[in-house]
């Protein structure tokens, strides 16, 4: 019952996390920044705007992004198969790509192509991480991982480090905010969305925060205190990285993911398979 409630309220908790992030970012930049509840003020402002729809497919894909993100998180919170959660997340990203590619705006299309670069960079590592957790726990189900007596992070240190450095790609943070790239393509794949349709994307990104940090939490196994500490550490690390680095070229992002992160995670998985 608690899992169902958490799933239903996931957008709310995601908005709180996003609000905390904006406050933390403001403090890191030595400015006042917005209030904690600013994401919800933005939400109601967007809902109150007059809906402008370019065409039905574009609007539908924006809503589909939100729904698929919620399904991906729901699979996690309800204790089901991790691979299914990853597949739903792929559907969410592809929905955003299809929607952004369906309009004539060059900024939107370029953002869609770069969003594909993001997906190509981090989704293989997500699958490797799920396989690694399976090798440790013997199950893809989140319930079994959260009841595992050991410490998954001790057996998967390289996988955790690789995932930690992948989080900025998933959350569009520097140095990997390649798709949105506000200095260059003004918002990327979401540039042509407005009003309630942009609100769907906006809320979907809140859900993605919970989705990402739920995976971080799994590295603590049944030791929830450790999982909570890992989440706090990952949250602060990602924001510190975001505020202290410049955006990289998308080619460097792909090279970094396929030349360093994925091989490092694969090396950990191979060692685990050989010596477990």
Cα gap 131→266, rounded to integer Å:
10
Kindly report the backbone phi and psi dihedral angles of residue 175, in degrees, each rounded to the nearest multiple of 5, phi listed first: -90, 20
Which residues of the chain, if any, have pLDDT below 70? 179-187, 276
What pLDDT is recorded for position 69?
A: 93
| Residue 8 contacts residue 204 (beta carbons within 8 Å) | no
What pLDDT is recorded for position 67?
A: 93
What pLDDT is recorded for position 132?
A: 94
Give the number of other Cβ atoms within 10 Å of residue 261's Cβ: 24
| Residue 136 contacts residue 150 (beta carbons within 8 Å) | yes
Residue 70's nearest CA partner among 163, 217, 206 is 206
> How much is the pTM?
0.90
Give the number of other Cβ atoms within 10 Å of residue 1's Cβ: 5
What pLDDT is recorded for position 185?
A: 54
What pLDDT is recorded for position 167?
A: 93
């Amino acid at each position: 019952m608690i899992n169902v409630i958490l799933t239903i309220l996931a957008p709310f908790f995601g908005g709180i996390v996003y609000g905390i992030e904006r406050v933390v970012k403001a403090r890191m930049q030595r400015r006042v920044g917005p209030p904690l509840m600013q994401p919800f003020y933005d939400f109601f402002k967007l809902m109150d705007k007059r809906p402008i729809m370019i065409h039905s497919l574009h609007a539908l894909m924006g809503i589909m992004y939100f729904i698929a993100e919620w399904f991906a998180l729901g699979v996690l919170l309800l204790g089901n198969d991790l691979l299914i959660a990853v597949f739903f997340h792929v559907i969410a990203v592809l929905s955003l790509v299809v929607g952004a590619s369906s309009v004539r705006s060059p900024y939107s299309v370029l953002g869609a192509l770069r969003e594909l670069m993001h997906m190509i960079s981090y989704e293989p590592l997500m699958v490797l991480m799920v396989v690694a957790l399976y090798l440790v726990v013997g199950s893809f189900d989140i319930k079994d991982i959260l009841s595992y007596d050991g410490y998954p992070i001790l057996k998967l240190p390289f996988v955790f480090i690789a995932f930690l450095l992948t989080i900025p790609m998933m959350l569009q943070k520097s140095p990997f905010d390649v798709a949105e790239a506000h200095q260059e393509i003004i918002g990327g794949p979401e540039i042509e969305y407005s009003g309630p349709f942009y609100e769907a994307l906006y809320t979907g990104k809140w859900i993605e925060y919970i989705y990402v940090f739920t995976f971080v939490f799994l590295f603590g196994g049944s030791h929830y205190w450790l999982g909570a500490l890992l989440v706090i550490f990952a949250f602060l690390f990602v924001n510190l990285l975001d505020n202290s680095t410049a955006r990289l070229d998308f080619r460097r992002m792909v090279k970094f993911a396929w030349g360093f992160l994925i091989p490092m995670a694969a090396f950990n998985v191979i060692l685990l398979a050989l010596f477990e």
